[in-house]
Structure 1
């Protein structure tokens, strides 16, 4: 039997997850069966199970992918420490979320995943890990701005970062449920709330 390349395996995994997203958005997590996923992906049961042992594994993988780009952006900002405002950092994150949601309905999938996390400890743990990492990375950004005097220093960087992280679920919920025009000004509003220092 010829050896299957990693590129082939990655393509099949992506095919399965794309099919799962379509099914979950159309029918929800609980109404989607594994048979639905086999049919939607156009793959055999064996091919699907080669990549994912269960529907829950697919939900976990989708949730992780949905957060990966956002986390990478926040981590990059924290690591590279560019000049500018905290508002610009958060606005950049919201812009990314908005663009992703326009492409593949990421916001609606996120809201479905949050609901699922209330009954799925593994998914809840994953969200906790990802949000903790995001809070930690944002705290580095906040700490730098505190040291420069752009943000108040009497409140811990972790507390301010925690407050900033709270903006993201609210924005995602609005993207999922409201007309896009109703949230069009949110990103600029965030920039206005935390403008760049006058000398930056």
Structure 2
């Protein structure tokens, strides 16, 4: 039997997740069965279960993929772009969400995942961990800005990070509802609301 390459395994995994995204967006989590996922992916039950033991694992994988780029952006700013303003960081995050929504409708999937997490303790725990990672990365960036005098120290970095994190779900919800026209100016507004204090 020929050896299965890592590239092949990754391609099959992505094929399954693409099928899951389509099914979840079309029918919701509860109405989507594993049989639906087998049929949508065009793979056998064994091939799907080789990668995911349940729908919950697929949901978690999709949420993790959605947040990976956002986390990477926050870490990148902390490491490679420390002089970028907080407004620039948030605008970049918004741009990632917009692009990925156009490509994979992550806004719609995020709203579905949030609602599912209200009844699924395991998913809620995993979702909370991902949000904690993102809040931590953002807090690190804010602390660096405070040390450099680019952001006020009168409020804790944690509180500022939590406040900025509150803006993201509102944007995602409006995007999921198809309200793209009124959201066009959001990145510029974020830059204006949280400018680089050192440059102002």
TM range (shorter): over 0.9
Q: Give 1:107 deviation, angstroms.
A: 0.2
Q: Select between 140-149 and 123-132 the one with higher mean Cα deviation.
A: 140-149
Q: Give 1:179 deviation, angstroms.
A: 2.3
RMSD: 1.4
Contact (CA 8 Å) 2:146, 2:153: kept in 1 or not?
A: yes
Q: Give 1:185 deviation, angstroms.
A: 1.0
The alignment status of 1:33 with 2:25, answered yes or no, reads: no
What is the distance in 1 between the residues matched to 2:88 and 2:186?
12
What is the distance in 2 between the residues matched to 1:63 and 1:144?
28
What is the distance in 2 between the residues matched to 1:150 and 1:9?
45
What is the distance in 2 between the residues matched to 1:179 and 1:173?
9
Contact (CA 8 Å) 1:87, 1:194: kept in 2 or not?
A: yes
- The residue correspondences of 1:179-198 to structure 2 (distance < 5 A) are 179-197=179-197
> Which residue is equivalent to 2:165?
165
For structure 2, the residue ranges without an aligned partner over 5 or more in a row are none
Q: Give 1:178 deviation, angstroms.
A: 3.4
**Runs of 4+ that moved beyond 6 A:** none
What is the distance in 2 between the residues matched to 1:44 and 1:52?
12
Deviations 1:7-42 (A, max 9, x none): 111111110110010000000000011111111001
TM-score w.r.t. length of structure 2? 0.95
TM-score w.r.t. length of structure 1? 0.95
Contact (CA 8 Å) 1:81, 1:141: kept in 2 or not?
A: no
Contact (CA 8 Å) 1:88, 1:191: kept in 2 or not?
A: yes
For structure 1, the residue ranges without an aligned partner over 5 or more in a row are none
> Which residue is equivalent to 1:45?
45
Deviations 1:100-139 (A, max 9, x none): 1111111000000000111112211111111111111111
Contact (CA 8 Å) 1:75, 1:134: kept in 2 or not?
A: no
> Which residue is equivalent to 2:104?
104
Q: Select between 164-173 and 75-84 the one with higher mean Cα deviation.
A: 75-84
Aligned positions, number: 200
What is the distance in 2 between the residues matched to 1:39 and 1:25?
16
Contact (CA 8 Å) 2:17, 2:62: kept in 1 or not?
A: yes
What is the distance in 2 between the residues matched to 1:155 and 1:77?
21
